[in-house]
Amino acid sequence: MRQLRCAPAALLWLALLAGSAASAAPTRVAYALIIANNTGTEPKQAPLRYADDDGARYYELFSSRTQETVFLSVLDADTQALHPGLAARTRPPTRAALKEALRQLNTRMAEDKARGDSPVLYFVFTGHGKRGPAGEGAVSLLDGSFTRTDLFSQVIAPSTAAFVHLIVDACDSYFFVNSRGALPVAPAQVQAVKGLLATRELARYPNVGAVLSTTREQESHEWSAIRSGVFSHQVLSALSGAADVNADGRVEYSELSAFVAAANQGVEDVRGRLEVSIQPPALDRAAALVDMGDKARLGFLLLPAGLEGRLWVEDARGLRVAEFHKERERSVVLGLPPAQGYFLRGAGREASFRFARAGAVVDGAGLSWRDNALAARGAMEDALRDRLFSVPFGPRFYNGYMASLGQTPVAPEQQPDLSP
């Protein structure tokens, strides 16, 4: 019998398109709660420009991959123009709206568990954050602060999800999820306070993972050329499939961590240098942040081995939806909403493509390229344009990165033989 040897990425998409056999594992059912707020709770916090844009992009990423996505935001005029109809699907980012959204999602996830399914919750925040006098982090809602105590007592502890993935892009975001340093209390109060703090530590919740934009007291950066926060742009690019280093259709925490490290390694300007915290759930350190093998309403762009360099995908609105620096030897598959027309761009050239339907695969090797000139101006614009994603990402970078951390990498890319 003739043997066929296919590229691993091709095998993945053949399985996706044909539909794989039912597994004995519980069905993964995903939900997302996205909060995006441009305004802060203190006069010194100037309004952000693109937190709502990032929230809209997270909404588009997750709404095609989840059972339900709830979006709490007040979109500005420019964002509403770029995302027609989205404002009608949003609610204001208030404490009451957040409480009601959590109640509804927890009810649905409890029903999923009762059926034997495995519900997953994405909790995403983009906007202002701060660290209070006692060291507790908080983020800004329209009607006040939402603190680390609130996060643990209202989101994490009562959650009915099998896994919770926290994604927070805000100043001082590390302190919104974690504590650090001495307790600012008298010695007689230490034990009582430690008992309270123990209920607000991720170690108590091994099913929770966290993706945080800062590890210290640091501002988050916005970049006007992409209408986005730099960290959110990198996370969104990674979760679109650019971080899938072993072409298994899944993006794990270690792959996201290495992808962000590669994206920022070339940045020399301290204003653009990110120090992030990415922590997988202790219960399963190999848990997938996204799995494109799920029944997702996506189109797929296959970029084969041989294509290399810094590339990005823009949609017909001019929004840069994914960016990466591809090692020549690896293949990359991006999962994108099929409704838009797209451009694959690199230095001085571009190729247009679109998906005929959800589930369609576009082979990047067959795209027609043409010359294109792009420009940016300003010192910070130049630093970000020239140095972000300047380091190629793929198995070579990933394996070296994981070795430097002394951690176990994802399973290597497989090269099986298939019989027709």
Per-residue pLDDT tens digits for 283-313: 999 999 999 876 678 999 999 999 999 999 9
Range with lowest mean pLDDT among 135-149, 232-246, 325-339, 387-401: 387-401
pLDDT bracket for residue 417 (50, 70, 90): very low
Per-residue tokens: 260: 């962000």
What is the per-residue pLDDT for 414? 56
pLDDT bracket for residue 92 (50, 70, 90): very high
Record the pTM. Answer: 0.85
pLDDT at 418 over 50: no
Helix (H, G, I), strand (E, B) or coil at 384: helix
What is the per-residue pLDDT for 151? 96
Q: If you average pLDDT over residues 197-226, what whole number do you get?
A: 71
The torsion angles phi and psi of 331, rounded to 5 degrees, stand at -100, 150
The torsion angles phi and psi of 412, rounded to 5 degrees, stand at -70, 160
Q: Which residue type does 127 have?
A: G
Of the CA atoms within 13 Å of residue 77, those in its CB half-sphere come to 0
Per-residue tokens: 362: 């576009």
110-113 long-range contacts, CB within 8 A, separation 24+? 110/160, 112/29, 113/160, 113/162
The residues, ordered by sequence, that sit 6+ positions from 251 with a Cβ below 8 Å of its Cβ are: 238, 239, 241, 243, 244, 288, 289, 290
Q: If you average pLDDT over residues 213-235, what whole number do you get?
A: 68
pLDDT at 317 over 80: yes
The residues, ordered by sequence, that sit 6+ positions from 23 with a Cβ below 8 Å of its Cβ are: none
